[in-house]
């Protein structure tokens, strides 16, 4: 097998392994697959169902055949109608034979395409199996699985940390809100207490003022009574003294 037709496959997860030589199984006339080798392989030269035609200078025999064909065509033109019908039937027969050969060739090409597709599929499957069964690929798969698991755990841990931070932030906000509400309530209670004390103080002052005024009024009335009694006593004593003079 020619060295130009050997290829390497890199489809095994970063692993380069020799691939099954498919090019040697592809016929040279197959229109859909290009060969990397410029020179045909031995299989192409020996087992190709369609022989390759070699270009050679026209031989004298072919030259004579062409002359005979031209002379025969002139004879055909000069022949009778019966000879023309025979010529037409011969042409029709040749056309049918060519059509039969063409169909046979198409059938052979189709079979070759199916066989080639089967061989390509088999080679790819074999190459994939060899790649998957190699220790390097197994180690690579194991490494990627471990990396995937580690990445998954890291993502879960990051998500948990994120949720934990969010919960802590929410708890802190709740505590701060409760503290503010408690301070507001304490302020309201203190304000109410201060107002009550102020009201009570004013009421006490007013009550004391009223009691003081009442005491002063009673003291004034008492003094007036005492003054009246004193005057009356003085008047009685003066009256008694006058009576004693007379």
What is the chain written as a DSSP string?
A: --GGG--EEEEETTEEEEPP--GGGS-TT-TT---S-SSPPHHHHHH-SSPPPPP-PPPHHHHHHHHHHHHHHHHHHHS-HHHHHHHHHHHHHHHHHHHHHHHHHHHHHHHHHHHHHHHHHHHHHHHHHHHHHSHHHHHHHHHHHHHHHHHHHHHHHHHHHHHHHHHHHHHHHHHHHHHHHHHHHHHHHHHHHHHHHHHHHHHHHHHHHHHHHHHHHHHHHHHHHHHHHHHHHHHHHHHHHHHHH-
Sign for the CA dihedral angle at 28, 31, 35, 39 comes to: positive
Closest CA to 91 of 115, 104, 107, 73: 73
What is the arithmetic mean of pLDDT over 210-215? 92
Mean of the per-residue pLDDT values for the chain?
Answer: 76
Per-residue confidence band for 246, with pLDDT thresholds at 50, 70 and 90: low
The domain locations on the chain are: 1-43+86-133, 157-246
In this prediction, residue 47 carries a pLDDT of 45
Mean pLDDT across the stretch 75-85? 58
* Confidence at 242, pLDDT banded by 50, 70, 90: confident
- Measured between alpha carbons, how far is 123 from 129 in angstroms, rounded to an integer? 10
In this predicted structure, the answer to whether residue 35 has a pLDDT above a threshold of 80 is: no
- HEC states along 210-231? HHHHHHHHHHHHHHHHHHHHHH
What pLDDT score was predicted for residue 27? 43
Exposed, middle or buried, 56 (CB in 10 Å: 0-12/13-18/19+)?
exposed
Q: Read off the pLDDT band of 138 (50, 70, 90).
A: confident
Q: How far apart (Å, rounded) are the C-alpha atoms in residues 28 and 40?
A: 7
Report whether pLDDT(45) > 50.
no
CA distance 14 to 36: 23
The whole-number pLDDT of residue 106 equals 92
């Amino acid at each position: 097998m020619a060295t130009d037709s050997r290829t390497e496959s890199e489809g095994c997860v970063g692993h380069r392994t020799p691939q099954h030589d498919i090019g040697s199984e592809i016929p040279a006339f197959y229109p859909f697959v290009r060969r990397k080798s410029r020179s045909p392989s031995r299989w192409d030269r020996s087992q190709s169902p369609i022989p390759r035609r070699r270009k050679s200078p026209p031989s004298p025999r072919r030259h004579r055949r062409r002359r005979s064909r031209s002379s025969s065509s002139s004879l055909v033109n000069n022949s009778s109608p019966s000879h023309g019908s025979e010529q037409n039937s011969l042409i029709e027969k040749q056309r049918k034979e060519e059509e039969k050969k063409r169909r046979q060739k198409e059938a052979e090409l189709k079979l070759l395409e199916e066989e080639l597709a089967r061989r390509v599929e088999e080679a790819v499957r074999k190459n994939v199996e060899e790649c998957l069964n190699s220790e390097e690929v197994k180690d690579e798969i194991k490494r990627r699985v471990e990396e995937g698991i580690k990445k998954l755990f890291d993502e879960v841990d990051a998500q948990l940390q994120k949720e934990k931070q969010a919960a802590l932030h929410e708890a802190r906000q709740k505590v701060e809100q409760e503290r503010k509400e408690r301070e507001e309530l304490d302020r309201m209670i203190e304000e109410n207490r201060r107002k009550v004390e102020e009201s009570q103080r004013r009421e006490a002052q007013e009550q004391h003022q009223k009691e003081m005024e009442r005491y002063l009024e009673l003291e004034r009335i008492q003094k007036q009574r005492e003054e009246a009694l004193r005057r009356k006593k003085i008047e009685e004593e003066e009256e008694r003294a006058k009576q004693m003079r007379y």
